[in-house]
Chain A
Amino acid sequence: MNATLDRLPRLLALVPYLLARPGVLVTEVAEDFGVPEAQLRRDLELLWMCGLPGHGPGDLIDLSFEGDSVTVTYDAGMSRPLRLTADEALALVVALRTLAEVPGLAGRDAVERALAKVEYAAGDVAQAADAVAVRVEARAHTLAAVQQALDEGRALHLRYYTAGRDETTERDVDPMRLLLVDGRSYLEAWCRRAEGTRLFRLDRIEVVRVLDEPSAPPPEAVPRDLSAGLYQPAPDHPEVILRLSRWARWVADFYPCEKVRELSAGYTEVTLRVSETDWVRRLALRLGTGCEVVAPPSLVEEVRAEARAALAAYGVGAGLSSAP
């Protein structure tokens, strides 16, 4: 997209925007339009030169500045913004429909009212939105409890299944945010048990109870930056390298890998950073011959030892000679 294609929509929207807000601060306008104040002032100067054919003094857009605020005194017929494009209608309508369909999300009523108004204002182009649909799964009851705790600023008691450790634990948490990310819902909270910020997948919360005590995340509870994805590999965690056959390749898409390297014959090597190797051991056992653990060596041995011990329990171990 070139600079004019960015600037022209802004220029066309500015006059009606100012018309609706007489005396608005220039800094506020710049913030709303997401541009530096200097750029916004250049935009206003440009608009001042524009107007109806003839371009006499009475034909030009007129702005009056008072201190740091600005008012449109003549709009040259630019009184309303341009209609939404099909892309714009699609982006907004699909997003609203997605939220309206999240089971148990507080304020769905407002979402639905907003959706109806936006669809009406978009007119025919709102049909573009029928081409896309997004579902976010959630259990209404869990979601409602989490939102209630967030709204009322109260702590939560959870019974939670941790897939990484394959255990179910009871814990009290201080809720920070509700994340609806790529089809799943998560609670981001300060976990008093782990003494750290944790993500709890809502479909793994088995029991939830809103506590009477207030939510009080400590100052070190900082919401994660979502721009790089939900999980970011921590460089200080131990490195695990797995070599995957073609049919175990899904692991590369499913887990946040630090490195993914395509090898010959359809093999893929992935590097992960993990805080604990328990779940990787279970993953390796699950994948069987589809996955070779390359590093760390201790994990290679762990997987083999676990398999032998399990075989012994089936009464099969005796005939096996040790690996060459």
Chain B
Amino acid sequence: MSSRRAERLVNLVICLLSTRQYLSASRIRQAVPGYEPDDGTAKSDEAFKRMFERDKAELRELGIPLETGRGSLAEAEEGYRIARRDYELPEIDLLPDESAAVGLAARLWQSARLAGAANGALLKLRAAGVDLDPAASAGVEPRVQATDEAFQPLLDAVTARQAVRFGYRKSFDVAPEDREVEPWGVVSWRGRWYVVGHDRVRGATRCFRLSRISGEVHRVGAPGQVSPAPPGVNLLEFVAGSFRHGPPPKTARLLVRPGAGAGLRRYGTVVGEYEGQDVLELGYGDVDSLAEWVTSFGTAVLVQEPADLREAVVARLTELARA
């Protein structure tokens, strides 16, 4: 894109900032250099109109608050201005440790769009006179990925307060199911992204892992129709809570070879010794999950009880031995 266009846009911003009255498009055409001059032909008017429409769109895309209105009832044409108080970043003054924190925070995002936005924010803070040292807090490196394809469409839907529909796989061996959700927010918990909202089919609050959304996220209904999350609902807590189980209801007794099974030992208690093996007591909820885990230790861990766990481990080992 040409320097001429950039120059025209800067002049347009300066012009609209400097006026208290709404300026009509024809006044702007005279005041801002670079627009198609008015030679009285419809063709030049058309060219100007196209340029001006594009410029307005570009300013709005950058977040420049372009106001439209009429200076007086007598004026036939709608005019434009930029209100200084809506345009200007308020005063911000950061102490050295605060600007170090901001510099650190701006390094957090790894995905292009959010990293770009964080850099855009830094640029404006610097322009507001804040000194930011890029090397500050070099001992800490925060990094968050947001690369799931569904991330941006869902975030946009949350911002637009619009419902979404998407295909969702509960696990990999089932076909995706259609879900319709009023999204409240997108949260990252244990390195994975979830969308939390009101599931219209189930009529309840649900969370969905972004990596299990298959295909596109479609918007449903009009923007602005989704009410915000009910008061007291903390989205992160909701996701964390849906993984939290009560205290493990059952206890297994395992014989663990001394020096081995460190992973199991971290969650259990050695209660004694039996034929040179440590007796480890371990609380658990699901037999199959524990059987999987115990099997992974091979000869180092033997189930003493309960019987169903023992059988589940033997069955798994039998399959593995046959393979």
Contacts and interface: CB of A to CB of B under 8 A. Distances in A.
Interface of A: 1-5, 7-14, 16-17, 20-21, 32-34, 42, 46-47, 49-55, 76-92, 95-96, 98-99, 105, 107, 110-111, 113-115, 117-118, 120-121, 123, 128, 130-137, 147, 150-151, 161, 163, 166-168, 177-184, 206, 226-227, 246-247, 249-250, 253, 266, 281-289, 292, 303-304, 306-311, 313-314, 316-317, 320, 323
A55 to B, nearest CB: 6
A163 B265 CA distance: 12
Nearest to B82: A82
Nearest to A223: B141
Contacts of A86: 63, 159
A49 B88 contact: no
B132 to A, nearest CB: 8
B159 A131 contact: yes
A134 B124 contact: no
25 contacts: A5-B62, A46-B10, A50-B7, A55-B11, A76-B18, A80-B89, A80-B128, A83-B90, A83-B124, A84-B89, A90-B114, A92-B118, A92-B121, A95-B108, A95-B109, A95-B118, A117-B92, A117-B93, A132-B186, A161-B263, A183-B190, A282-B296, A286-B295, A314-B310, A316-B317
A85 B262 contact: no
A75 to B, nearest CB: 9
A41 to B, nearest CB: 13
B191 A184 contact: yes
A293 B136 CA distance: 47
B263 A163 contact: yes
B61 A5 contact: yes
Contacts of A84: 63, 89, 120-121, 124
B172 A247 contact: yes
B128 A81 contact: yes
Closest 7 A-B residue pairs measured CB to CB? A20-B129, A182-B191, A286-B296, A183-B191, A307-B320, A81-B127, A95-B105
B188 interface: yes
A117 B145 CA distance: 26
A181 B118 CA distance: 17
Contacts of A284: 320
B270 interface: no
B316 interface: yes
Nearest to B186: A132
Nearest to B320: A307
Contact of A182 (B15, B122, B144): B144
Contacts of B105: 92, 95-96, 98-99, 111, 114
A145 B104 CA distance: 20
A226 B102 contact: no
Contact of A166 (B32, B191, B263, B320): B263
Contacts of A83: 63, 65, 86-90, 124
B18 to A, nearest CB: 5
Nearest to B124: A81
Contacts of B18: 52-53, 76-77
Interface of B: 1, 3, 5-7, 9-11, 13-15, 17-18, 31-33, 58, 61-65, 86-95, 97-102, 104-106, 108-110, 113-129, 137-145, 155, 158-159, 171-173, 184-192, 211, 235-236, 240, 259-263, 265-266, 292-293, 295-299, 302, 310, 313-314, 316-323
A90 B117 contact: yes
Contacts of B313: 314
A313 B102 contact: no
B267 to A, nearest CB: 11
A111 B101 contact: yes
A323 B121 CA distance: 64
Nearest to B302: A313
A227 B239 CA distance: 28
Contacts of B7: 46, 49-50
A77 B94 CA distance: 24
Given A114-B102, A226-B143, A284-B320, 7 more contacts: A5-B62, A166-B261, A177-B138, A283-B296, A285-B298, A288-B295, A323-B323
Given A46-B3, A89-B121, A114-B101, A150 B139 contact: yes
A87 B120 contact: yes
Contacts of B31: 53-54
B65 to A, nearest CB: 8
Contacts of A121: 89-92, 128
A16 B144 CA distance: 31
B143 A182 contact: yes
Contacts of A7: 1, 6
A46 B4 CA distance: 9
Nearest to A252: B172
Contacts of A76: 14, 18
A250 B102 CA distance: 36
A215 to B, nearest CB: 11
A82 B121 contact: no
A154 B96 CA distance: 25
B101 A107 contact: yes
A161 B267 CA distance: 12
B91 to A, nearest CB: 8
Contacts of B320: 284-285, 288-289, 303-304, 307
